[in-house]
Amino acid sequence: LRSRAMKRGFDVCAAVGGLILLSPLLLLATIAILLEDGRPVLFVQRRVGRSNRFFSVYKFRSMRHTGNDQDGARSTLREDARITRVGAFVRRTSIDELP
């Protein structure tokens, strides 16, 4: 129990430290997405995790919100017209994975 509590404490401290260090980059990405394509800034996707429990993944939105394919019937291509300019940069640098 003690080692689990210590690991949890370390994880929380590392996450808070990483968030503080990355906050300027996250703020810039947020502003760039807002200026180019408006709200929402984050894309939420439900995934299946441990013990088949669902959880939500939050990512910076890299595609246009209008004309969004909610059903996932259309795959994203490398040169997809739905990808914004900021979104292309966000994807190329993997900034979308930070949130």
46 — phi, psi (to 5°)? Answer: -90, 135
Instruction: Give the pLDDT of residue 92.
Output: 87
- The beta strand positions in 1-99, using DSSP E, are 42-48, 54-60
Contacts with 42 (C-beta within 8 Å, 6 or more apart), sequence order: 58, 59, 60, 61, 99
Q: What is the pLDDT of residue 12?
A: 97
Yes or no: say if 39 and 87 are a contact pair by the CB < 8 Å rule.
Answer: no
Q: What are phi and psi of 4, to 5 degrees?
A: -65, -40
pLDDT tens-place values along the chain, 99 residues long: 999 999 999 999 999 999 999 999 999 999 999 999 888 999 888 999 999 999 998 989 888 876 555 555 566 666 777 888 898 898 889 887 776
What are the structure tokens assigned to 27, written together? 């703020």
Q: Name, in order, each residue with C-beta under 8 angstroms of 41's C-beta and a sequence gap of 6 or more.
A: 30, 33, 34, 60, 61
